[in-house]
Structure 1
Amino acid sequence: MRCRKPKTSSLPLSLVDLYRELKKKRKKEATTISQRDLTAKEQQLIRRIRAVTAEQNENNVTRTAAYLAFYLRHREIHWAFLGHMVSRNGGWNMTDLKGELLMRLLSEGERQSFFAFLERGNWLIFQDIYPQFLLYEESKKRGEPLFYLLPWLGVSTFMETVWHHFWRRGDPYMLAIALVVNEQSYLESRVIQHPTFRQTVFQTLEFKLQELLCLNHILFPHDDGRGGTALVGQTLHQFESLHERILLGKRLYSILFDEEETLENAVRWAVHHPHTGSRKDYWPQLFNDVCESFPREPYRRRIRDCQIVPGAPRLYSPQLRHAWKNVVHEAAEPGDWFTDPHVVRYLVKPERPTNGEIVNAYCETLEKMELAIIAKHAFFHAR
């Protein structure tokens, strides 16, 4: 990752110590230590953390629920709720591939490739971040930091340094954005730049990713105060850019956490609407997890101003458990992404709030997909 090098004088005092510690860590040679160097109790704790993580990492629904449960236990770990809400979007993107619109636009091979891409990223993030959460939880229980054990869990030296800093200073924003930086950097070589996904997803589906799929819309439902659901969110236009994904994470954090009322409305909504993977979770007036239409019928437009045209069937959006089987993953590729302490500049809080308006852009995408289906049908029947 290329970062413009900050002068320490340009950093807030709260980050200067972290920057200096990261600079020291970069200069130290990595040493590999065997499990024999841990005490029996430490080895037992590592095994338990790995076992619990594997159990909760079964699929997108279990991961998403685990993030929320952890956040409700430890409200100071803001990323747990941010991760919960973003993971919901991952699940919706997965089930879209078996839903009403994309079933008509993408081939079976394209849908399988795109699911593999989404699932691998979702799985990798969880197996990296959830052990960090469990170790933090155990540290709180014992009243002493245990973050020196993070290398045995395959966690970057960047996060080991950040967790120690958080333990001393307790800055929830710093920790949350550091986790954003870590997770997106962790994914960069393992998913975004992985040769398989470059070939089967980014090169093959480049146009469709940008123009037709909802991958670039991140939606955060929350209680609207009138018994309904409102949406806020952001749109990402350069998914392949690590820098842009990190900046998106910062904007998404701002949407959720800048206003206490928005946060509490979102938490309340999340608790009262368990994640199923179906978009019916937030818009039952537009989506249903039971198919209401006949699959062989020519598609006719149903969406007008984000509402279903009177008399038309709702869009099919299946639950994840009905859409995809659980995946057995290969172990995560080893390696530490951290090489440059100047990534600390991402942890500086922006002064401007983020505008969370997303509904119009999302509705336009749905309508584009409808038009693409109709155009595709007309093209093939005109030949």
Structure 2
Amino acid sequence: MLDSLSDVKKELKKKLKKKVKKKSACLLPLLSENDKQCIQLIREQTRRLNQNNVTRTQAYFQFYLQHPEIHWALLGHMVSRNVGWNMTDLKGELLSKLLPERDQIAFFSFLEQGSWLIFQDMYPQFWVYDLSVRGNQEMFHLLPFFYTSTFMETMWRYFWRSGDSYSLAMAMVINEQSYLEKRLIQNNYFQKTVTGTLSFKMYEFLQLNNILFPYYERGIKEKTSLVGTTSRQFTSLHERIQVGKNLYSLLFQREEVLAGVLKWAHECPHTGSRKDYWPDLFNDVNESFPRSLYKPRVKNCMLRKGARRLYSPPLKYAWADAPHEETTSEDWFGDFHVLDYIQKEVSFNGEILNNYCKTLEKIELAVMAKEALLLREEDNH
């Protein structure tokens, strides 16, 4: 019986010792007709909603509204919004001037593959839980058919008995980042084209990986505030799990933030444009004059006098839907010590505004420096 986390640890140790690799195909004949239909339905729904960042982001939010006890669904929704903004930044006012098109395409592929992978892994788990709740009977024997990690299968069974939303959410943070580690971060192609490039080092240097959670302060619709954090070493598994834990504590340990985020998410459907949360600074229509040299427009997160808003396109105008190939089905889980990440830690204050404002100004300076360099080169020829 999985009544406590120490029971979970024992169970995981046992599973690691056995290391029984079951091929789901061999198990198929043991399933009832109803089970087979459920598997088929979940596969179809996952494929349909895993179309692009906007469809995934919305699917996470819809699931959270149905099952608010599954905290990760809201956390995943908010992080997924940020992934969408990062995608459209590549075609927006500033980064399109800073990154060559080759890098824009490579960075988008990297973000899109990560976003697609996480949805492919997580969404079937949500469906299996939903079926369990509706039928008032756990259906977690279906999880291996979606190549769900042994770790998550065990955590779902524990959650079903304990109702421990915090531990399940932490387990999902550990799972999604461990799942990405081999398939994305350690993928040779992406190491060559993204994480090993000069552009990526510049990206980290300029601290472009701010994760922002907009929310209505004290429920006032006109007043959008921001909390968040900066991921400083995206290629570190430990760092990414730590960032996930910090973001969780922002959302679920501060009632006013949770209420404000939910109200904001309801009112502002995700388009991928940063205009979604900051229409004073960003616009989804390009207001700039083509070919004119860039002049600074932002000071302390406000437009300078007479300056035009920064262009931030919706996802559907920035990038076409990308095709994906099926990935390997191997289980990442190989060390029960990952459970140590679940322990509660001190809350995180989430002050991000100052950092984010400075980031925008840094990028503006980088754009102007690049343009000045290109002009000098032209003059020398």
Task: Report the TM-score range of the alignment, normalised by the length of the smaller protein.
Answer: over 0.9
Q: Which letter maps to 1:381? A: L
Q: Which has the higher contact order (CA 8 A, sep 6+)?
A: 1
Query: In 1, Cα distance between the equivalents of 2:154 and 2:15?
Result: 8
| Cα pair 2:53 2:84 within 8 Å, conserved | yes
1:259 correspondence with 2:254: yes
Name 1:327's counterpart in structure 2.
322
Name 1:7's counterpart in structure 2.
none
Query: In 1, Cα distance between the equivalents of 2:24 and 2:79?
Result: 35
Query: In 1, Cα distance between the equivalents of 2:195 and 2:70?
Result: 33
Residue 201 of structure 2 is aligned with which of 207, 222, 241?
207
Superposed CA deviations along residues 287-321 of structure 1, whole A, max 9, x for unmatched, are 00000001200000000110011211100000000
Superposed CA deviations along residues 76-104 of structure 1, whole A, max 9, x for unmatched, are 00000000000000000000000000110
Q: Which letter maps to 2:275? A: K
Name 2:16's counterpart in structure 1.
26
Name 1:93's counterpart in structure 2.
86
Superposed CA deviations along residues 211-242 of structure 1, whole A, max 9, x for unmatched, are 2362x210000002332200000111111100
TM-score in terms of structure 2 length: 0.95
SS of the aligned residue for 1:274 comes to coil
Query: In 2, Cα distance between the equivalents of 1:15 and 1:209?
Result: 39
| Deviation (angstroms), 1:328 | 1.3
Query: In 2, Cα distance between the equivalents of 1:329 and 1:236?
Result: 26
Q: Which letter maps to 1:344? A: L
Query: In 1, Cα distance between the equivalents of 2:102 and 2:283?
Result: 25
Query: In 1, Cα distance between the equivalents of 2:126 and 2:72?
Result: 10
| Deviation (angstroms), 1:261 | 1.9
Residue 110 of structure 2 is aligned with which of 108, 117, 121?
117
Query: In 2, Cα distance between the equivalents of 1:134 and 1:58?
Result: 17
| Cα pair 2:207 2:232 within 8 Å, conserved | no
| Cα pair 2:274 2:312 within 8 Å, conserved | yes
Q: Which letter maps to 1:156? A: S
| Deviation (angstroms), 1:149 | 1.0
Q: Which letter maps to 2:276? A: D
Within 5 A, what are the aligned runs for 1:294-333? 294-333=289-328
Superposed CA deviations along residues 266-294 of structure 1, whole A, max 9, x for unmatched, are 11100110000000000100000000001
| Deviation (angstroms), 1:36 | 2.2
1:240 correspondence with 2:235: yes
Query: In 2, Cα distance between the equivalents of 1:239 and 1:343?
Result: 19
Name 1:168's counterpart in structure 2.
161
SS of the aligned residue for 1:232 comes to strand
Name 1:219's counterpart in structure 2.
212
Q: Which consecutive aligned stretches of 4+ in structure 1 deviate over 6 angstroms post-superposition? A: none
Name 2:366's counterpart in structure 1.
372
SS of the aligned residue for 2:191 comes to helix
| Deviation (angstroms), 1:119 | 0.2
Name 1:181's counterpart in structure 2.
174
Name 2:350's counterpart in structure 1.
356
SS of the aligned residue for 1:31 comes to coil
Name 2:186's counterpart in structure 1.
193
Name 2:61's counterpart in structure 1.
68
| Deviation (angstroms), 1:332 | 2.0
Q: Which letter maps to 1:280? A: K
Q: Which letter maps to 1:362? A: Y
| Deviation (angstroms), 1:25 | 1.2
Q: Which letter maps to 2:310? A: L
| Deviation (angstroms), 1:67 | 0.4
Identity percentage over the alignment? Answer: 55
| Deviation (angstroms), 1:31 | 1.9
Query: In 2, Cα distance between the equivalents of 1:316 and 1:66?
Result: 27
Query: In 2, Cα distance between the equivalents of 1:45 and 1:377?
Result: 56
TM-score in terms of structure 1 length: 0.95
| Deviation (angstroms), 1:208 | 1.8
Q: Which letter maps to 1:143? A: N
Query: In 2, Cα distance between the equivalents of 1:61 and 1:382?
Result: 41
The number of equivalent residue pairs is: 369
| Deviation (angstroms), 1:334 | 1.6
